[in-house]
Chain A
Amino acid sequence: MQPMSEKFSDEQILEGLGEIVEEVAGVSPDDVTADKSFVDDLDIDSLSMVEIAVQAEDRFGVKIPDDELANLKTVGDALKYVSAHS
């Protein structure tokens, strides 16, 4: 786990999200790009999204409340959120 205060580059966040999505949902990290929708493009269900959020919180030292999670439709949304809050 990374320390809470560290600032991550967009590349680091994208790489981290790719690894988390692969671990939880078996999607190839190459497919985890900013334009992709978690549900429509990557076929990730709401249960897996909860797991992805918890792992992202740990990895990037951010808090993702449920009402914010609901707004993270694409990988790009998640990237922006993590970048702004880490």
Chain B
Amino acid sequence: MSNVDVVITGLGATTPLGGDVSSTWDALLAGRNGIRANTTDWAERYDLPARLHAPLAVEPTEVLPRVQARRLDRCEQIALIAARQAWADAGYEPPTEEHEPVDPDRLGVSIGTGIGGPLTLLDQDDLLEEHGLRKVSPLTVPMLMPNGPAAHVGIDLRARAGVHTVASACASGAEGIANAYQMIQNGRADVVIAGGADACIHPITVAGFCQSRTLSTRNDAPERASRPFDTQRDGFVLGEGAGVVVLERAEHAAARGARVYGRITGYGMTADAYHITGNHPDGIGQIRAMEQAVRMGGLSPADVGHVNAHATSTVVGDVGEAAAIRKALGEHVLVTAPKSSFGHLVGGAGAVESIIALLSIYHSVIPATRNLENLDPKVGLDVVAGEARKVELTAAINNSFGFGGHNVALLFTAA
């Protein structure tokens, strides 16, 4: 059982469905699609078998001042955009020297990323090759380093309790939130800005995923390509995006009369120790992660009404997760898989999907999984499809799993 109440008071995101949380959420409820044909010249040049992606709906350079944008990697840009949104959504003014809405020594940052700044690394390498040393940016290292997103958010919002970055591939955003929760539990901070970000749509990452045979090749029908739990699923679609939440000690939030979206009351974090990309066939790590989260929150599996699934639309992964959910929680849970709408946001996924799980509790409605036409009979769960489902929820789990065998389950409950 946890001993410190932690609430969520602010949400921010930029995704392939929208430039903020409300547009993303509205698009999800409306069943809109964020997946596009990849018509770049490089997809053609390298004859890539998978020509689909899920780019951001709003370019970061449309939001950030020009000079600030040019000093940041794309991953840093979107983390900063989402963090500022979450901060404002929590009711905080932008901090200045004269006015610090939260004591900086009690304010932390925990933002994960799967890959960090590969776009900068590769661009600057091209410049070095073509033009030599002089053209390499002095900002190269701070732009490509994986802690860059967290560091920039920490500078911008004046966080001095500690600024942390976790890298657990596609589980990074969820693990960032779990670590933030732990930071408050440990008494290191009253408020932590937490989440994850990735922006790594580039010929080399797409080529690498193509070679690992993990991407959907349904190139003729982008809107139908990402179809978790459907019998015709054939892989995931690479997206880009960031999600950030403001976690706050409940007394701290209550003292300032903050709006509370819900609570985080537990997490489970385990490892498979099995294979670098494949899940353990018995789902042992995933099962234990969900069981730990439920136990830490002082609940029983029957109390958890909903799982926002990791479900990336791969043949093996989706049914493996479904089996783990049945084993850990039972067959009663309602499941949804938002990657059907916006693809796989890598380090952003766990954070954006945690926001969706939380809003499902807050608004009593679960967005539908797109493209679920024929439920794989091996799933054995009630996957919300067709249209969003209205349902009162008291507790929900967000699952996020990553290459490397990382399994993270976060437990959210109603305010």
Lowest 7 A-B CB distances belong to which pairs? A26-B67, A47-B138, A50-B138, A54-B134, A47-B139, A25-B67, A51-B138
B272 → A minimal CB distance (Å): 41
| Contact across chains for A26 and B134 when beta carbons are under 8 A apart | no
What band does the interface of chain A fall in when counting residues whose beta carbon is under 8 Å from B?
A: 10 to 19
Given contacts A47-B139, A54-B135, A57-B134, could you give 13 more A-B pairs where the C-beta distance is less than 8 Å? A24-B67, A25-B67, A26-B65, A26-B66, A26-B67, A26-B68, A46-B138, A47-B138, A48-B138, A50-B138, A51-B137, A51-B138, A54-B134
Which residues in A have their C-beta under 8 angstroms from that of B65? 26
Which residues in A have their C-beta under 8 angstroms from that of B139? 47
The 16 listed contacts between A and B (C-beta, < 8 Å) are A24-B67, A25-B67, A26-B65, A26-B66, A26-B67, A26-B68, A46-B138, A47-B138, A47-B139, A48-B138, A50-B138, A51-B137, A51-B138, A54-B134, A54-B135, A57-B134
Which residues in A have their C-beta under 8 angstroms from that of B68? 26
Count of B interface residues, CB-CB < 8 Å: 9
Provide the bound-state CA to CA distance between A57 and B133, in Å: 14
Interface string of A1-45 (1 = CB under 8 A from B): 000000000000000000000001110000000000000000000
Which residues in B have their C-beta under 8 angstroms from that of A50? 138
Provide the bound-state CA to CA distance between A25 and B135, in Å: 17
B200 → A minimal CB distance (Å): 24
B293 → A minimal CB distance (Å): 42
Provide the bound-state CA to CA distance between A80 and B8, in Å: 56
Q: Chain B interface secondary structure, helix, strand, loop or mixed?
A: helix
Closest to A25 in B: B67
Q: Chain A interface secondary structure, helix, strand, loop or mixed?
A: helix
Most-contacted residue by chain A among B68, B138, B139 (CB, 10 A)? B138
Closest to B142 in A: A47
Closest to B66 in A: A26
Which residues in B have their C-beta under 8 angstroms from that of A57? 134
Most-contacted residue by chain A among B65, B68, B137 (CB, 10 A)? B137
Provide the bound-state CA to CA distance between A57 and B138, in Å: 16
A interface list, Cβ under 8 A from B: 24-26, 46-48, 50-51, 54, 57
Provide the bound-state CA to CA distance between A25 and B137, in Å: 14
Which residues in B have their C-beta under 8 angstroms from that of A48? 138
Provide the bound-state CA to CA distance between A60 and B134, in Å: 15
B57 → A minimal CB distance (Å): 26
Which residues in A have their C-beta under 8 angstroms from that of B137? 51
Closest to A57 in B: B134
Which residues in A have their C-beta under 8 angstroms from that of B134? 54, 57
Closest to A27 in B: B67
B271 → A minimal CB distance (Å): 38
A47 → B minimal CB distance (Å): 4
A72 → B minimal CB distance (Å): 16
B145 → A minimal CB distance (Å): 14
B296 → A minimal CB distance (Å): 43
Which residues in A have their C-beta under 8 angstroms from that of B66? 26
Interface string of B58-81 (1 = CB under 8 A from A): 000000011110000000000000
Which residues in B have their C-beta under 8 angstroms from that of A47? 138-139
Q: Which of B193-230 contact A (CB under 8 A)?
A: none
Provide the bound-state CA to CA distance between A59 and B218, in Å: 49
Which residues in B have their C-beta under 8 angstroms from that of A54? 134-135
Closest to B139 in A: A47
Closest to B70 in A: A24
Closest to B133 in A: A54
B377 → A minimal CB distance (Å): 58
B33 → A minimal CB distance (Å): 37
Closest to A24 in B: B67
Provide the bound-state CA to CA distance between A57 and B66, in Å: 23
Provide the bound-state CA to CA distance between A47 and B66, in Å: 17
